[in-house]
A and B are shown apart, each in its own frame.
Chain A
Amino acid sequence: MPNPSDPPKNNDNDAELIRSINDGRQELFFELVRRYEKSLYNFGLRMCGNPSDAEDMVQDTFLNVFRYLKGFRYETKFKNWLYRVATSACLKKKRRSKFAPERELSLDEFLPADESAVSKEVPSWASQPLTQVLDEELGGIIRNALLELPEKYRLVIVLRDVEGFSTQEAAEILDLTPSNIKVRLHRARLFLREALRTYYET
């Protein structure tokens, strides 16, 4: 039998912290900032593409979190809720600046055009260990390719593959169905793979 004083099942370190903040220990909000400013800043960089927009996004996110923290429902994982707030801060930001045009990516555009476009060997960039391939220059190629993705695909691949959320979590954050997440993720990955192929093979 669970002890009634045990924290609820879905509790994590964050939930405990938020309970304390909501119980009046507001100075603990700085601990929340310490935990998440780096991931949010990097999420902002991947999504917005420049440091000043990323900073604005992080600040807006924490301000909104501060404002709405009382309404946080503890059955949600705090980090997912945080990224929901961050995502809407990103989208607001984006309406004011220039971003990749919105368009649908279709699977067909990633199918090899003809026989000559079908590789018979795994190219060296894909067969070598990651540590030998991923240098500063390649990092830049990937970051730029992410920014060239239409936003709805970029959000999904950044949450799933860069930030490491699961399909289910990304679906919660973006209010999409898991199968929608999977479709967008696959196309975004194919888009990125094309960018890598172009970088290495032309």
Chain B
Amino acid sequence: MKRNNPKHAHQGCIALFERLSEYIDRELDPPTCRDIEAHIESCKPCQVCLETLKQTVDLCRHLQRQQVPETFSLKLREVIFDLVEKKPG
């Protein structure tokens, strides 16, 4: 980051940048959260940074799950059936 961007070059932005994931995950103590919120309120680039990271996390959390292919599912049960048969309780 260049120094001629006074708003975004200062140490506060970098310190915040390092903790954004913990902030999103609510893993920080309340005073730290308040500091971060106060900073974000007044710093547009950090706000953009937070919002894009939040959305990235949300997208991961909502990835579509695929069904297990039926042929595999049947094969798996056959393999396990053999095991169960071989090794009775």
Partner of B52 from the list A122, A142, A143 (CB cut-off 8 Å) is A122
Say yes or no for B4: interface residue by CB 8 A criterion.
yes
Chain B residues, Cβ within 8 Å of A1? none
Pairwise interchain contact A127-B76, C-beta atoms closer than 8 A: no
Say yes or no for B33: interface residue by CB 8 A criterion.
no
Q: How large is the interface on B (under 10, 10 to 19, 20 to 34, 35 or more residues)?
A: 35 or more
Chain A residues, Cβ within 8 Å of B51? 122, 126-127
Chain A interface mostly: helix
Chain B interface mostly: helix
**Which residues in chain B, 60-86, are within 8 Å of chain A measured between CB atoms?**
60-69, 72-73, 75-77, 79-80, 83-84
A6-14, A80-88, A93-101, A190-198 - the one binding chain B? A190-198
Pairwise interchain contact B66-A189, C-beta atoms closer than 8 A: no
Chain B residues, Cβ within 8 Å of A142? 59-60, 63
Pairwise interchain contact A29-B59, C-beta atoms closer than 8 A: no
Say yes or no for A176: interface residue by CB 8 A criterion.
no
- Bound together, the chains give a CA A182 to CA B25 distance in angstroms of 10
- Bound together, the chains give a CA A39 to CA B65 distance in angstroms of 8
Pairwise interchain contact B57-A189, C-beta atoms closer than 8 A: yes
Question: Are A196 and B56 CB-contacts (below 8 A) given A24-B89, A26-B89, A120-B45?
Answer: yes
